[in-house]
Structures are given as structure tokens and as C-alpha cells.
Amino acid sequence: MKKGNQVSQRSRNSLAACLALVLQLLIGATIQAEDGYRLWLRYDPLPKAWADTYRLRVNSVVVQSNSATLDAIRTELVNGCGGLLGSAVAAAESVDRDGALVVGTPKSSPLIASLKWPLANLGAEGFQIRSVKLGARDVTVIAANSEIGALYGAFHFLRLLQTQQPINNLNLSQKPRLQLRMLNHWDNLDGSIERGYAGQSLWNWRELPDKVDPRLRDYARANASIGINGTAINNVNSNSRSLSADYLRKAAAIADVFRPYGIKVFLSARFSAPIELGGLKTADPFDPEVAAWWKKKADEIYRVIPDFGGFLVKANSEGQPGPRTYNRNHVDGANMLAAAVAPHNGIVVWRAFVYDAKDGYDRAAAAYDNLQPFDGKFAPNVLLQVKNGPIDFQPREPFHPLFGAMPKTQLMPELQITQEYLGFSNHLVFLAPMWREFLDADTFAKGKGSTVTKIADGSLYQQKLTGIAGVANTGSDRNWSGHHFAQANWYAFGRLAWNPDLSSKQIAGEWIRATFTSDAKAVATLTRLMLESHEAVVDYMTPLGLHHIMWGGHHYGPAPWWNKERRDDWNPTYYHRADEKGLGFDRTKTGSDSVSQYFPPVRDRFADLRACPENLLVWFHHVPWDHRMKSGRIFWDELALHYQRGVNWVRAARKDWDSLANVIDAERHEAVARKLAIQERDAIYWRDACLLYFQTFSKRPLPEGVEKSQKTLDEFKAKSLAW
């Protein structure tokens, strides 16, 4: 070869090497870029020092049979343990060395069967994890009665690793406290999501059933990892086409993806479907043809989805058809549908979100008035789904008075994960403290200690069928929920559905370590921010018991002056009732007396202006502007200072977040910083708009420490806050 050619070849080799290096760097940058897609299932390497401290090794995963669920367990543990421990983990058929992880059921695993562990008390979904000797080998065994129970155990084991718990001497067992742990998706057939703030629906109805988005498997994985076992895939404001043969085949394709992860599909049923799909002249539940149509439809659904969960129903609420359209009651409608699915072991989830448009009535009392008289009348496969509060997912509400008031009816709480009234996906609001407040509320239905949790889990009234629902916050956005911290609310719902006694602090700590960082200082800072965030949002939106003062329709931003809706009870002025004397809705005997729906001593405490918790004061009372608060300040000053305190918190939170720039990856740090900037803007807007408006009634100056608005009230009224 000539010298010139040699030089040319070397140049080409050097160029190729440079290009390869650049390509490698670009690929590496792409791989390392954080978009939030992995949620809390990240499996990045743990600190080596921690693994060394516990002499932790997982060398192999032993799953001795094959099925869709067992294959999912094997893949999850091989990938998860390998990623977290930074070493190769093999799938094996037998234990041939120390550090094996054996997973399965007595039926699927001869090794587990040989242990003869008593697993009966774990039920269908529980699991046991123990460190044991198999022969001369040190192994960890995850055993369950069912493959889904083993899957939950596998995810729990990975959570122990992610949160750096000692796992070299394990002996634990768990089972869920609530049977049905479900998400309600308010997804429409056109791909939009009602009250969704993270893009379009995850279900692409146009492409189903022939093409199923692989992302649905990751959705199922995420749900299974926190114990969610049911999903209603269409909006409660439902379209009858959801029950058509074409859409049932589409739903069946989704169910096929969910099944290995233990998730049953539910469908929201439109009560008038017999008319719109079946060509009948009526949907009267007492009409034999209507009942026969629903039975035939249920049979059809179970043929294509054998493990179909059942129907979710919103009836005679906000324009939806229902049994009252035909002068029947809610029991008549629910029990007709329950009879249709009962032969297939299906259930009906009947929403208690009903209210009437009556002159002078109190919407907070409506669901109780409509449903409590029917206690004990619902079929045994009906769950009455009751919102946490008596209005509508407000930043703070008292617990719903139906909890405890229907001892012969199976109730399940309905929580809202998506932040319809809490700043959409723009505001950092960790909802676990709000849900914890609700679950811990003592109804006194059977004396002290009759908490909502004990009603929901069936222990207070020996309820046989139990459940909890959360209105989902997921969408097609790459990070699933529109805000990286909103993922924590999905996570928190699942963890509380599994164990409603978990503390908000524990849930926050788990999620932070699995999602963001295990740095001790950063974990402490983020935990504090998350635990404080809900109270801060209440402060700058609806302090001291204010509620439903959001802008009409979209519910983003304040509009306490709004009175243009066609129904009084859709207007903020209906709820706050501000006048020259004071602020708030009188629900005592001198007003609507809806406070009487609670048991004493709760009723007596709420009804007494002096004893009422101040964070619910104007929920139950029309409070004089100069009422003396526990702080010694008058009510007006206290109200204004709460609004200011909320703004101050967001400003401090931004600084705390900025201080973590060297700990949190740049992509997510910048994304959250942008959201916090919006949150500060919105908090100021809320403070100024509300105080300027309420000041027109109080006629009092702002107290010292509260900043004055840079805008006029007319400017706020002219245009809603943009999201």
C-alpha cells in the first residue's frame, strides 16, 4: 500500500472513530435524558455501599412455571434486581447458588409447595416474603396463593430495594385491606379526557382492537406495582356506543393486556342504552324488556371479556339519564343492572353524586337526602361510590355525611386524583394528606373510633364487598400526568387503596426514593414540601372552609363573583354568600341545617361557631367579618393572612427546589421549576382576586403583611386565569 493511501486510511479510521464516539455520546445523552416515563419503576443502580452493608446479592430469579403473569414476574425481577444492584441477574429453573429469589405459588412452584407454608389467611391477593435456607443455599422466597399475589409480592420486594430497606432477613406478609381498588378514567371515545390535564386518552379507540399501544402494558405494570386491580376505561358521562359490539371488541383488547397484571376492566354504562342501542322505547328499569336487554348485554360482554369487572354508573346527575327519569329510584336502577351481571360474579358501582335543582336547597345535603332513606335496599353486588366530601372534590371539604349513615349499604369512597379544583397539572399538590384527613375522620357512627377507614374496609359494619375509586390523572403526555409531582398522587392512591392506614410521610418517602433520589438531604426537603403542599394550596385558594369559588366551567382560577350559570348551585356566589355582615354558608339550624346529617358529637362541634374547626368555618357558618379567631385576629384579617401565607409558601418552595439542582436531573428539575413559576403566578392571582372581591363586602383594609394587588377587581373579572 502506498504511503498516501495509508494516511488516507488512517484518516478515515480516525474520522469513523470520532463519529462513533459522537454517536455514542448522543445515544448516551438520549438514554440519560429524563422525561418521567418510567414513573417510580426506574431500577437505577443503588449506592454500592448500601448493598455491601447488607451483603446483598440476587444472582438468579427462580420462577418454575410459565404463564403470562409468571413471565411478567420473571421479567420484572430480572430487570429490576439487575438494574438496582448493578449486576447481572439470571432467570433460572432451580436454586443452584446463594442469592436466589424464588417466586410463585404452591401450584406453580414445587420448591414453594415443598415448604408447606400456611398461606390461606393471605387470601387471593396477599403474599409472604421470607429469607430461608433451601438445603445449604440462602434464598429469598416470595409465595402467594395466586399468581397475582406473587406479582404483588415481587413489586413489594423491588420497593424494598428501591427504598434501601434491609432485606437480608425478611419475614413479612401482606394482603390488601380493600377488595376493589380501581381507577375511574373519564376518557371519551374521541380521545379527549374530561377533567384530564395530561394530553389525550391512553386508549386509541380508532386503532383498537387491531393495534394495541405497547404503552398500555406499562400502564398495567405501574398499576400492579401499587396494587390497583380495576379500571373503568370510559367516562361516567358515558356514550352508549361504549357498549356496542365494536367497542366491546376494543375493550377486550385492552383487557387482554391488563389481565396478566391482575386488572379487571369496567365500563361506564349509559342508563338509556336500551333506547339508543337496543331500539327500545324506554329504559324504565321496571320494564321487562329493558331488564332482558341488560341481561343479554351482560352475557355478550362476558363472552368477549370473561373477567369483566362490571358497570360503573352515573345516573340522574348533571343531565345524565337514570331511573328517576321514569319515576323510579336509585335502588330500582342499580338492582336491575346488578341482576344482569350477578350470574357472572360482576358488580355494579353506583355513583352517589346526585343533587337536585330546588329553590333554597343545600347541594351539600342532596346526596344524603336522595340515598340515605334507601339504606339496606341495594343488592349485595352493588357498591355505592361516595365522594370524599359532600360537594365536589374541593381543596378541602368535611367528610361526606353518608359515611356512617348507611350501615346496611356497601359504600366505597371516590377520590379525585386529577386536580380539577387544585390547579390542574400546573400546581404541585401532594394529595395524600387530604385523603389521610378524610380517611382518619371520625364519624362517631358507632361511637368514638368509627373512622371513615373502618367504614370503607368493612370492619365497622362487616361489609362484605369493599372498594375505593380514584378519578385518574393519566394521559398521553410522556410523563403520564402532566406534572412530574402529579405522579405521586397516582402512587399515593394505590398505596392507600392497599393499606388505608399508611402515613403520608411514608408514601412520600417511598415515591421520592423510587422516582427522584435517595440523597438523604434532598429526600427530607422534598418530603417536607410534599407534606406541606396541600395546606398551602388551600391557603391561597379556599382558606377557612371556602369552597367552589372557581371560574365557571373549566374551574381553573378564582371567580368568587361568578353568578352567570343557569343553575344557582353552579355559581360561586351560591356557596360563599358574602355580604356586608360576613362570609360563608350557614348550614346550622338557622340556615339549611345540613349539619344535622352528621352524628353527634361531630354535628355539635360543626354547628358551634366557637367549636367548629377553623379550617371548615365558612363551610358551616356565615361568619361575621369581625369574628374573633383563635389567633386573636378578626376573621377578615385571618382570611387575608391565609391567602398571603399560601403565596409565601410557593415562593419558598421555588427556592427549595432550586437548591436541589445538583441532585435532581436537569430535565426534570427544569420542568418542575417552570411549573412552580406558574404556581406562584396563580397563587398571587388567587390571593388578589379573592381579597379584592371580598373586600367590597368587608370594607376593611388589608392587615399588615398582606401585599396589595397590582390589578383592579375589574381586570380580574374581565378574563379568567389562563392555564
CB 367 within 8 A of CB 409: no
Total residues belonging to the chain? 723
Where does residue 193 fall: left (phi above 0), alpha (psi -120 to 50 degrees), or beta otherwise?
Answer: beta
| Cα 3 to Cα 333: distance, rounded to the nearest angstrom | 92
| Cα 614 to Cα 629: distance, rounded to the nearest angstrom | 8
> Coil, strand, or helix at residue 212?
coil
Supply 151's cell numbers.
406479582
Helix 432-440 × helix 520-541 angle, to 10°? 70
| Cα 637 to Cα 627: distance, rounded to the nearest angstrom | 10
Q: Which of 427, 682, 679 is nearest to 551 (CA)?
A: 682
Q: Which residues are catalytic?
A: 318, 392, 420
CB 559 within 8 A of CB 572: yes
Please give the C-alpha separations between residue 419 and each of 21, 69, 185, in angstroms, as whole numbers: 45, 33, 13
| Cα 253 to Cα 289: distance, rounded to the nearest angstrom | 30
CB 503 within 8 A of CB 148: no
Give the angle 429-431-433 at the CA atoms, nearest 5°: 115
Q: Is 462 exposed, middle or buried (0-12, 13-18, 19+ CB in 10 A)?
A: exposed
Supply 167's cell numbers.
432485606
> Coil, strand, or helix at residue 253?
helix
53: which residues sit within 8 A by CB, 6+ positions away?
none
Grid cell 412455571 in the structure block, residue: 65
234 alpha-carbon distance from chain centroid: 16
Supply 165's cell numbers.
430497606
| Cα 723 to Cα 721: distance, rounded to the nearest angstrom | 7
719: which residues sit within 8 A by CB, 6+ positions away?
none
CB 618 within 8 A of CB 576: yes
Grid cell 413479612 in the structure block, residue: 172
CB 244 within 8 A of CB 211: no
How many C-alpha atoms does 271 have within 13 Å on its Cβ side?
Answer: 30
> Coil, strand, or helix at residue 601?
coil
> Coil, strand, or helix at residue 473?
coil
| Cα 518 to Cα 49: distance, rounded to the nearest angstrom | 13
